Amino acid sequence: MKYSLILLAAGQGKRMNAGINKIFIELHHKTILAHTLLTFEQDKSCEKVVIVGHPDELETIQKMVKAERSQKVFAVISGGEERQDSVKRGLAHIDEEEIVFIHDAARPFIKQKQIHGLLDGVRKTGAAILAVPVKDTIKMVHNHLVNKTMDRSELMAVQTPQAFHAKLIKKAHLEAERSGKLGTDDASLVEWIGEEVEVVEGDYLNIKITTKEDLLFAEAILKIESGSS
Ligand code: CTP
Ligand code: MG
């Protein structure tokens, strides 16, 4: 089964506070964005990639695509204000009958096992996500007071990629836009229109690089992967 990829890179990385968009931070001499792209470049099921970048950074991204000799990137386009806007712009380049993966460029450690799991999952329901059980106890807190302790056995932390029949996710995005609904992930829009979402086992190493300390974890993961630890 083949799929197309929307690779999201149009954020600003504010929580990283690095003075540049975090996806351009280098790990082992390659940007986080390049690491992520190369994983999909090497995946045979991935047919084409749309990179959604910040309007001011499209040229930099184009240069990287050239330097890495990517065979799959067929468009580098401008993202929007919110992640959801960036996804919507990416979806405009995907045909209805395709399978589409939506992935954060800030998650460079995605593995074949999870990609294959998502392909199996999306075959079943038309929407599949990666999730791992949460390790911490999660509490709802209001004004510094505990409101409720959640039942941890039911809680999962969700990752990207998320995989969809393009027709379904396009419909979900359109209806969300009409109603002014903003979801924190793409699957939540599919849930919101009443469709099922298959949950596939994620990997704790598939971290999203968000804050400074995540760079330490990222370096450690790369060390393990390159066998130099
Ligand atoms: N993203 C995007 N368009 C946006 C916002 C985010 O394409 N308008 C992308 C980011 O580049 C990132 C992914 O979505 O790869 C996940 O978002 P997040 O981790 O929140 O990244 P940023 O928004 O860049 O970081 P921050 O929220 O700290 O500013
Ligand atoms: Mg953000």
Please state the domain count of the chain.
1
Residue 226 pLDDT: 85
| Residue 119 pLDDT > 80 | yes
Distance 184 CA to ligand 2 centre (A): 9
Q: Which of 223, 217, 209 is nearest to 22 (CA)?
A: 209
What's the rounded mean pLDDT across residues 39-47?
Answer: 98
Which ligand 1 atom sits closest to the C-alpha of 211? 28
What's the rounded mean pLDDT across residues 117-141?
Answer: 97
Q: How far apart are CA 201 and CA 125, in angstroms?
A: 16
ipTM above 0.90, yes or no: yes
What's the rounded mean pLDDT across residues 177-185?
Answer: 95
Angle between helix axes 32-41 and 58-67 (nearest 10 degrees) is 50
Q: Which two tokens stand for residue 56?
A: 């001011």
- Which residue bears the tokens 């359109």? 174
Q: How far apart are CA 214 and CA 27, in angstroms?
A: 12
What's the rounded mean pLDDT across residues 142-156?
Answer: 97
Q: Which residues line ligand 1 (CB under 6 A)?
A: 8-15, 23, 52, 79-83, 86, 104-106, 208, 210
Distance 10 CA to ligand 2 centre (A): 9
What's the rounded mean pLDDT across residues 130-146?
Answer: 97
| Residue 111 pLDDT > 90 | yes
CATH number at residue 186: 3.90.550.10
Expressed as residue numbers, the domain containing 132 is 3-226
Could you report the per-residue pLDDT of 78-92, keeping only the tens digit for each? 999 999 999 999 999
- Work out the pLDDT band at 227, boundaries 50, 70, 90: confident
Mutate to test the pocket of ligand 1, among 12, 77, 109 (most ligand atoms within 8 A of CB): 12
What's the rounded mean pLDDT across residues 93-111?
Answer: 98
